[in-house]
Amino acid sequence: LMRVGELAKAVGKTVRAMHLYEELGLLEPRARSEGGFRLYGPEAIDRIHWIVKLQAIGFTLAEIQGFVGDFQKAGSGREATARVRALFAEKQTQIRQQIIQLQVIENDLVEALSYLDSCQTCTDDYAPTACGDCDHHGHHKGEAPPLFAGLSRRAEDEAKDKDKAKAFDVPVTVLYREGNN
């Protein structure tokens, strides 16, 4: 059996994280030593890897705690698995939406990188503020990709036009999740 420090080291987490998992009911020591130290078996490593995977999927510790509790309190296996299935299906929908948003962002980056690649042959005769409104190297005046156009004062002035301003409106969900350890 492992003490909490050994377990934390084995999974790359802090001792505090181990205590938090225990406080939340996500991790239970198998036993206690004569000195009162928590002792964990190898199954604790699997449990922590499971928690980490759920966090990577996007579940917060509070959500994990909630569905672990619901699972344990369910009246039947069918009820327990139905609840977990609903949560997983909802998370899958959220992830698919994030993938779509990330694909839009990736396309914007590809467009900006392609534009910027053609700029590498440019001479040093132009001010940086002219780059977003460039008509050299196959570029057309006022048609810089939105991600790059924002760097140019001229492009920002042109963005006041409603159609151009809409090009900057990309719905992006914040991918940061609070409460994850």
Render 67-89 in DSSP notation, one character per residue: HHHHHHH-SSHHHHHHHHHHHHH
Start-to-end CA span in the chain (Å)? 24
- What strands, in cross-sheet order, belong to the sheet with 38-40? 2-3, 38-40, 31-32
- Burial of residue 84 (CB within 10 Å: 0-12, 13-18, 19+) is middle
Residues 108-148 pLDDT 10s:
999 989 888 888 877 777 777 677 667 766 777 777 788 88
This prediction has a pTM of 0.65
Percent of the chain whose pLDDT exceeds 90: 49
Return the pLDDT at 170.
53
The tokens of 105 are what?
């962002």
Residues 58-84 pLDDT 10s:
999 999 999 889 888 888 989 989 988
Question: Which helix H or strand E contains 146, and what residues bound it?
Answer: helix 146-149
The tokens of 127 are what?
């001010």
Which one of 1.10.1660.10, 2.60.40.3880, 3.30.460.80, 3.40.50.720 gives the CATH number of domain 2-57?
A: 1.10.1660.10
Q: Write down the residue that tokens 């992006």 correspond to.
A: 172
Task: Spell out the domain ranges in the chain.
Answer: 2-57
pLDDT interval class at 180 (50, 70, 90): very low
Distance from C-alpha of 143 to C-alpha of 145, rounded to nearest angstrom: 6
Whether the CB-CB separation of 51 and 181 falls below 8 Å is answered with: no
| CA–centroid distance for 100 within its chain | 13
Higher pLDDT, residue 103 or 34? 103
Q: Report the mean per-residue pLDDT for the chain.
A: 82
Return the pLDDT at 165.
52
